[in-house]
Amino acid sequence: MVIGDKWVDLSTVQVMGIVNVTPDSFYDGSRSESTADILSTVKDMLKCGASIIDVGGYSSRPSAADISVKEEIDRIVPAIQAIKSHFPEAIISLDTFRSEVAKAGLDAGADLINDISGFSIDPKLIKVVADYGVPYILMHMKGTPQTMQNETEYDNLFKEIYCYFSEKIAVLESAGVKDIIIDLGFGFAKTVEQNHTLLNEMQHFQTLEKPMLLGVSRKSMIYKKLGTTPEEALNGTIALNAIGISKGANILRVHDVKEAVELVKLLEVRG
């Protein structure tokens, strides 16, 4: 897949590093509010082998506070500009569900859009993605970050999520969006048990014929299951990422790039 002006070979598992320019993300190790912190984090991630840097200015943890479009733009634009200025080779994903933020971020240098809402919150996002001709990460979620944990009822978990992707992909492709990556949305409108069920069934989504992003890094499906905290969830993250790779994941979205890159290398050797 071409992202920006670079070819990214998704037949080999790629690692996406998380950079949250927010004060309230669920894992404080991912928060980078000053430009110096952002650049230091990105430098380390690129050095460790990250293929993509995912920048987000809106915390999507359960019950996170809502912020204005202007505040989100004010967070992400300087971050993207600084990263592109210091690391022009970096591929930047912008984590947003708002069309105005997406446009501002793409104008600042972002290379693809990572939308947790599947354009359900702001349908105008489709046109922005199509007009800019950038790849789009389509995630499954019900509700909003403020309501999603109250929306975990499914008649058939796998069937409903599969149909969600089938329908959304058709809409995107008809609008001219060419490169689509799917994300099953672990931790979004799903219980701990549902998350693990979905991970175990992840390989079946390969029939959609789209690359798959796996985002389980330090999430509650790990630390609640183990009775620990996000800070203690690195071992669990590695374990679930290994399962995800075996189920067909093409991209790992992680807080800990070095460990994820090492995992990918070891699994490639195991072959």
Rounded Cα distance, 249 and 194, in Å:
18
Rounded Cα distance, 199 and 256, in Å:
20
- In this structure, which amino acid lies at residue 140? H
User: For residue 52, what are the β-bridge partners?
Assistant: 16
Q: Which of 168, 178, 219, 270 is catalytic?
A: 219
**Burial of 219: CB neighbours in 10 Å, binned 0-12, 13-18, 19+:** buried
Assess contact for 79 and 104: CB atoms under 8 A.
no
**Burial of 62: CB neighbours in 10 Å, binned 0-12, 13-18, 19+:** middle
219 is catalytic: yes
- Between strands 2-3 and 212-214, the pairing is unpaired
6 is catalytic: no
- Between strands 112-115 and 92-95, the pairing is parallel
Take residue 49 and report the two structure tokens written for it: 């082998």
Q: Which of 253, 258, 265, 270 is catalytic?
A: 253
State whether residue 51 is helix, strand or coil: coil
Take residue 110 and report the two structure tokens written for it: 């972002």
CA angle (112, 246, 43) in 5-degree steps: 40
- Beta carbons within 8 Å of 81's beta carbon, 6+ residues apart: 108, 109
Catalytic center residues: 219, 253
